[in-house]
Amino acid sequence: MTVFREIKAQVLASLGAMTAAGTLPEGLSFDAVTVEPPRDPAHGDLATNAAMVLARPAGKKPRDIAAALAEDLASAPGIRMASVAGPGFLNLRLDPAIWQGVALQVLGAGAGYGRGVPGQGRVNVEYVSANPTGPLHVGHTRGAVFGDALASLLDFAGFDVTREYYINDGGGQVDVLARSVFYRYLEAHGQAVTLPEGTYPGDYLIPVGAALKAKVGDAYIGQDESVWLEDVRSFATDAMMALIRADLAALGVTMDVFFSEKSLYGTGRIEASLTDLGNKGLIYRGTLEPPKGKLPEDWEPREQTLFRSTEHGDDIDRPVKKSDGTWTYFAPDIAYHFDKVSRGYDRLIDVFGADHGGYVKRMKAAVSALSAGQVPLDIKLTQLVKLYKDGAPFKMSKRAGTFVTLRDVLDQVGPDVTRFVMLTRKNDAPLDFDFDKATVLSLSYPVSFAQSALACLAAVLAMPPGFAGDTALAAADVGLLDHAAELELLRKLAEWPRLVAAAADAHEPHRIAFYLYDLASLFHGYQHLGKMDPGMRFLTDGQPDLTAARLALIRAVQLVIRAGLGILGVTPRDEM
RNA sequence: GGACCGAUAGCUCAGCUGGAUAGAGUACUUGACUACGAAUCAAGGGGUCGGGGGUUCGAAUCCUCCUCGGUCCGCCA
């Protein structure tokens, strides 16, 4: 039972009593009633808007309701004072024991403090899903970090999470990859080749060509594409996926499932998913309206096989077959999501780059249709990463050789800073990533801030003989924690479970990062008091009870910071 | 022509899904350490929340119309 739920229950009980006493009319909904910490701590520990949201339906003045509620709550256990403020806020000041008890709650739960109860449901998070045609670049990194942190957050919140990568190995781009590797293969045999336009020029394919030579010798030299294409494609795709997995591992990302698009072809699975839609009357032959505005030169109306996605919220119907009868890219994606739905997930999450924004509605429409509206799909778009160097925008170009890979970023700033920087903002806001700030000024980044708090905590907690162990600390007299700074820290710790639940619900891992920053900041302030005033040091000579209480508090802080960094995938460091 | 996302302090970003006087970091100004880690702390200045209209007790947040920036719009995935 968290503090917030406890007090909210008190408020609801009082409202119920007021209804029974006739102060409030019967049948009011209390759904809109919130009990939250006010923005300005001077207003009290908690505030409720009950009077204001009930005023209109009850036909009473907000301040009158608030006054009556205050009277009823004044005698409630744990509430020291209730006062009406502003237009009808009811500010509550709690018995300090309520907050002090939080330290013991944290110690009791240990690393699991704030963790949601298991059994929230099965959720599939698909992220990265970069084409297997080259190493990950900086744009993929954001999706990777975001998806990974979101998955960890949901896991912490009590969901059963699958982390999944969709390998786009079924389209034309892997044929291009195969041909590119074939040229490198010829090169490895000493032939002078110039890479034609439209192939992948990257150096990373040179060793793949050499590896192909080592595997097949000269068997493919002079042979027609029909002989080698399929084998080289498969060989090259495997090589690229090995590269990508290594990149992900360097970033600290591990997938549970790699799902191959190719596995959907020739097995009847695409057909089966479209049959399912067909049975629901959502597949038809038809001709799309030409796009408004600039008309493609070669536009002519053509009959195609279409998915009636407008039935499920899309703006126009979408083709699943090209005019030549082959599948569009949308068709295997439908089959893939059909597969995910049929694997029994309660909810699906896709993390896409911003360039897939136009794809969201049709994918949601497909999942809505395939699952008969039973499985919600949330699509999180990560906006582009704008690179800066020396304060100026840094252009990424494959041709100019200024292509910034995930490896480049990791080599410069390391995985922890990369992750934290990318997580200290919302996924749908653009991100400016400055190499200089991340390198030269990386110390001022929040990650270091949180890390330095951890280092300090570890140093202090390692020091005192006789206080080691959470069981010893759990016996501390936390009633001694009555300083304003201590109560502020306790209130922040009390928020953690609530924050985790809200962040998981909103699919917003960045809230964790900001919370950790705030918590570390409060800790630094608290720690500093000891520098000014010897009486405020953690280890107080001759006062073992006070020392134990303060160690219990900062041990709780340590546990929460570690748990939070764990969710973000940042390595907690006890030494800087 | 249309869809989606963004616009908050000089700069980089939060703002707990409608709450009270809009907050951090950074930069700037001022002050505080000879080590329980200054990789820190305290204080100060800095804002028409892109603009107009609307909804209500109350709007940065919701609805609507504009402006600017980004992404995308049948046979690339």
pLDDT tens for A82-115 read: 999 888 899 999 999 999 999 999 999 999 999 9
For the segment 414-473 of chain A, residues whose CB is within 7 A of strand B:
424-426, 428-432, 443-444, 448-449, 452, 455-456, 459-460, 463
Q: Strand A347-353: give its sheet, edge to edge.
A: A257-260, A160-167, A122-126, A347-353, A377-382
Check whether A40 has a pLDDT greater than 80.
no
Averaged pLDDT, A435-441: 50
Place of tokens 């006739």: A22
Measure, in angstroms, how far nucleotide B74 C1' is from residue A296 CA: 10
Q: What gap in Å lies between CA A135 and CA A396, rounded to an integer?
A: 14
One DSSP character per residue, A349-390 reads: EEEEEGGGGGGHHHHHHHHHHHTTT-S-EEEEEEPPEEEEET
Query: What pLDDT is recorded for position A56?
Result: 84
Measure, in angstroms, how far nucleotide B57 C1' is from residue A139 CA: 47
- Residue with the larger pLDDT of the pair A518 and A413: A518
Q: Strand A392-393: give its sheet, edge to edge.
A: A392-393, A385-389, A431-434
Asked if residue A573 keeps its beta carbon closer than 7 A to nucleic acid strand B, the reply is no
Measure, in angstroms, how far nucleotide B75 C1' is from residue A188 CA: 36
For the segment 282-311 of chain A, residues whose CB is within 7 A of strand B:
288, 290-294, 296, 298-302, 304
The two three-digit tokens of residue A128, written as one number: 């990265």
A449 closest-nt by C1' vs CA: B39
A330 closest-nt by C1' vs CA: B77
pTM of the model: 0.93
Averaged pLDDT, A194-223: 93
The two three-digit tokens of residue A543, written as one number: 């006062």
Name the closest residue (CA) to the C1' of nucleotide B2. A292
Q: What gap in Å lies between CA A432 and CA A384, rounded to an integer?
A: 9
Lowest mean pLDDT among A134-148, A335-349, A408-422, A500-514: A408-422
Check whether A397 has a pLDDT greater than 70.
no
How many CA within 13 A on the CB side of residue A300? Answer: 2
What is the average pLDDT value for chain A, to the nearest integer?
88
CB A164 within 8 A of CB A125: yes
Check whether A229 has a pLDDT greater than 50.
yes
Cα Rg of chain A, angstroms: 29
Query: What pLDDT is recorded for position A297?
Result: 65
The two three-digit tokens of residue A74, written as one number: 């004044």
Contacts of A497 (CB under 8 A, 6+ apart): A2, A113, A114, A116
Query: What pLDDT is recorded for position A403?
Result: 64
A171 closest-nt by C1' vs CA: B77
Q: Are strands A257-260 and A160-167 parallel, antiparallel or unpaired?
A: parallel
CB A187 within 8 A of CB A193: yes
Asked if residue A533 keeps its beta carbon closer than 7 A to nucleic acid strand B, the reply is no
A499 closest-nt by C1' vs CA: B16
The two three-digit tokens of residue A66, written as one number: 């608030």
Q: What gap in Å lies between CA A390 and CA A310, rounded to an integer?
A: 48
Q: Are strands A122-126 and A347-353 parallel, antiparallel or unpaired?
A: parallel
Averaged pLDDT, A148-153: 97
**For the segment A233-257, what is each residue's pLDDT rounded down to a tens digit?**
999 999 999 999 999 999 999 999 9
**For the segment A57-66, what is each residue's pLDDT rounded down to a tens digit?**
888 888 889 9
Q: What gap in Å lies between CA A556 and CA A90, rounded to an integer?
A: 30
**For the segment A7-20, what is each residue's pLDDT rounded down to a tens digit?**
999 999 999 999 99
Name the closest residue (CA) to the C1' of nucleotide B24. A518
The two three-digit tokens of residue A575, written as one number: 């030494």
Q: What gap in Å lies between CA A535 and CA A314, rounded to an integer?
A: 65
For the segment 174-233 of chain A, residues whose CB is within 7 A of strand B:
none
Averaged pLDDT, A457-480: 78
Q: What gap in Å lies between CA A538 and CA A163, rounded to an integer?
A: 42
Which of the listed ranges A400-404, A505-509, A541-545 does the model predict with the highest average pLDDT?
A505-509
Name the closest residue (CA) to the C1' of nucleotide B56. A56
Q: Measuring CA to CA, which residue among A164, A174, A169, A173 is closest to residue A144? A: A164
Measure, in angstroms, how far nucleotide B3 C1' is from residue A360 CA: 10
The values of phi and psi at residue A296, to 5°, are: -55, 145
Q: Are strands A35-36 and A46-48 parallel, antiparallel or unpaired?
A: antiparallel
Asked if residue A392 keeps its beta carbon closer than 7 A to nucleic acid strand B, the reply is no
Q: What gap in Å lies between CA A348 and CA A431, rounded to an integer?
A: 25
Averaged pLDDT, A172-183: 94
Measure, in angstroms, how far nucleotide B61 C1' is from residue A262 CA: 45
Domains identified in chain A and CATH numbers: 3-94 (3.30.1360.70), 100-114+444-568 (1.10.730.10)
User: In chain B, which nucleotides are within 7 Å of a protein Cβ?
Assistant: 1-7, 12-17, 19-27, 32-33, 36-42, 56-58, 70-77
pLDDT over 90 for what percent of chain A?
55
- Residue with the larger pLDDT of the pair A284 and A139: A284
Asked if residue A322 keeps its beta carbon closer than 7 A to nucleic acid strand B, the reply is yes
- Residue with the larger pLDDT of the pair A102 and A27: A102
Averaged pLDDT, A465-484: 82
Query: What pLDDT is recorded for position A446?
Result: 61
Asked if residue A76 keeps its beta carbon closer than 7 A to nucleic acid strand B, the reply is no
